[in-house]
Structure 1
Amino acid sequence: MTNDDVSSTSQALAFSNNASFVCVEDLPSSVYYVHISENSAFSLVAPPLNGSNYQSWSRAIRRALSLKNKVLFIDSSLPLPLMNDSLFIAWEKANNIIVSWLQAVVTPSIAKSVEWIEVVAYVWCDFKDRFGRGDFIRISDLQSDIIVLTQGDLSISDYYTSPKILSDKLDNMTSISNCACSSVCICGLDVVRGYRENDLTINFLRGLNDSFSDVRSQLLIVLAFCEEDLHTCIDSGTKMFLTCQASAS
C-alpha cells in the first residue's frame, strides 16, 4: 500500500468517525432542526388568532409548520424525551421556538393565557379545546346562511364561491369521519357525506337568479333522476349549466 493510499484511508476513517457524532438537530431533515434565520420573533401566519377565526388560523399554522417539518410537535405524535435523554436538549430548543412562534401569532390576551404552558403540544391542545370545539349557535348560523344565500348582484363565479366558503367552515366544525370500509361503503358515512353535498348543490341552484330558472329546472331534474354517483351527476349538471350559460351570453 502506498503512502497516498494510507493517507486516503485515514481521511475516510476520520470522516466516518466524525459523521457518527453529528448532532441530530444539525440535520436539515430532522424534526429538531431549526435554521439559523428562524428566531423566536418569526411570524408564521397572519392575521393572528382572535378566538373567532380558529378554523382558518389552525389550518394556516399546520401548513406553515408542515413546511418546516414541525407538525409532529403540535399533534402529540412526537414523544417528549426524558431530561436525561440525549435528544432532550434538541427537543427543548425546537419546542421553545415553536411556542414562541405560536405566541407571536395570537392576540396579546390569548398569548398571556398560555405563557406558563411550556410544551407546545399542550399549547396547541389548549387552543383547540377553547376555540376549536363546534359552537352550536355558530353551526346553526352557518346552516341558515347557506340556506338563505341567493345570487343577487353576484357573478356566477362569486356566487358559487360564497356557499363553498360557508360549507368549508361548517365542515371544519361538524366534520364527518372518513369511511374506513375496504371497498364498498357499509358504514353509511359516504351516504351522509353525499346528502350534505347534495343539500349544498340544491341550495346553490335554488338561490340562482330568475334569469337562470330554465337552466335551474333542468339541473334539478338531472340530479333527481341521475342513476350514477352524486359527483358524476353534479359534474354532468355543471357542464350543462356552463353550456346553457355560454349560449345565453
Structure 2
Amino acid sequence: MIMTLTAKNNLGFIDNSIDQPRSDDLLYGSWARCNNIVTTRLFLKEIKKFGNLHDRFHESNAPRDYQIKKLLNGLQQGSMDISSYYTKLRVLWDELRDYQPTSVCNCGSMKEWITYQNQECVMHFLIGLNESYAQIRAQVLMMEPLPIIPKVFALVVQEERQRSIHHGVANASVRSRN
C-alpha cells in the first residue's frame, strides 16, 4: 500500500507530510480534491477485502412483493369512501412499483408496459369496489381504450358525489314530511 501511495505521490496525504492549506488559500481546492481521491481509493480497497457487499447483504424482495400483491388482491372498498379506498390502493401500487425493475427503452415497448400497468391498476380498483358501483364498473369496462386510472377514479368519485347529493335530497324530503 505504501509503495502504491508513494508511486502516485499520495503518501503525504496519509502521513500528514503534506499540510492542509487554509480554506481561503488558492491551493485548498486542489488539496481537498487530491485528499478525497486518496481517501476514496483506500476506502474502496478496504471494501474489496470483504468481498461483494451487494451479494453479502442483499435481501430478496420476494416476500414483500408477495405481501403487497396479496394485500392488493384482497383489498375491498367495504365501508371506506372512494378516496380512502383509492389512496390505500395507490400506496400499495407505489410500493410495488419500487420493487419492480426499471429500464430505459426508446423502441416503444415501454409504452405498452405502462399501458398494461395502468390496466392492472384499473382492474384492481374496479374489482374492489362495492357492488353498489356495478353500473359504473360496467360502463368503464365497456370503454375502448380503457381509461387511465386517474380518469376512472374521477368517474367513480363523481358517481359517489351524485349519490350523496341524491341521498341528501331524499333525507330532506323525508324530514319535511314528518
> Aligning the two structures, in what range does the TM-score lie when normalised by the shorter sequence?
0.5 to 0.7
Does the Cα contact within 8 Å between 1:219 and 1:241 map onto a contact in 2?
Answer: no
DSSP 3-state at the match of 1:87: helix
C-alpha separation in 2, matches of 1:128 and 1:168 = 26
Match of 1:219 among 120, 125, 140: 140
Does the Cα contact within 8 Å between 2:78 and 2:130 map onto a contact in 1?
Answer: yes
What's the RMSD between the two structures over aligned residues?
3.6
Q: Is 1:21 equivalent to 2:47 in the alignment?
A: no
Does the Cα contact within 8 Å between 1:152 and 1:209 map onto a contact in 2?
Answer: yes
Query: Structure 1 or 2: larger helix share?
Result: 2
Q: Percent identity?
A: 21
Segments of structure 1 that go 5 or more residues without pairing to the other structure are 1-18, 26-84, 96-116
Match of 1:241 among 156, 159, 169: 156
After TM superposition, list the pairs within 5 Å mapping 1:171-210 onto structure 2: 171-181=97-107, 185=108, 188-210=109-131
Look up the equivalent residue of 1:240 and give its one-letter code. L
C-alpha separation in 2, matches of 1:237 and 1:86 = 55
C-alpha separation in 2, matches of 1:148 and 1:168 = 17
How many residues align structurally? 136
After TM superposition, list the pairs within 5 Å mapping 1:77-88 onto structure 2: 87-88=33-34
* Residues 160, 179 of structure 1: alpha-carbon distance in 2 compared, 3 angstrom cutoff: same
Does the Cα contact within 8 Å between 2:121 and 2:149 map onto a contact in 1?
Answer: no
Higher RCO (Cα < 8 Å, 6 or more apart)? 2
Alignment correspondent of 1:77: none
Does the Cα contact within 8 Å between 2:83 and 2:157 map onto a contact in 1?
Answer: no
Query: What is the TM-score with the length of structure 2 in the denominator?
Result: 0.59
Q: Deviations over 1:94-122 (max 9, x none)?
A: x7xxxxxxxxxxxxxxxxxxxxx945xx6
Q: Deviations over 1:157-211 (max 9, x none)?
A: 2211112211222211122313234xxx1xx232123212211211111101222
Look up the equivalent residue of 1:205 and give its one-letter code. L
Match of 1:143 among 58, 64, 69: 69
C-alpha separation in 2, matches of 1:197 and 1:177 = 17
C-alpha separation in 2, matches of 1:219 and 1:155 = 19
Larger Rg computed on CA atoms = 2
Does the Cα contact within 8 Å between 1:151 and 1:207 map onto a contact in 2?
Answer: yes
Look up the equivalent residue of 2:83 and give its one-letter code. S
Segments of structure 2 that go 5 or more residues without pairing to the other structure are 1-23, 165-178
Look up the equivalent residue of 1:23 and give its one-letter code. Y
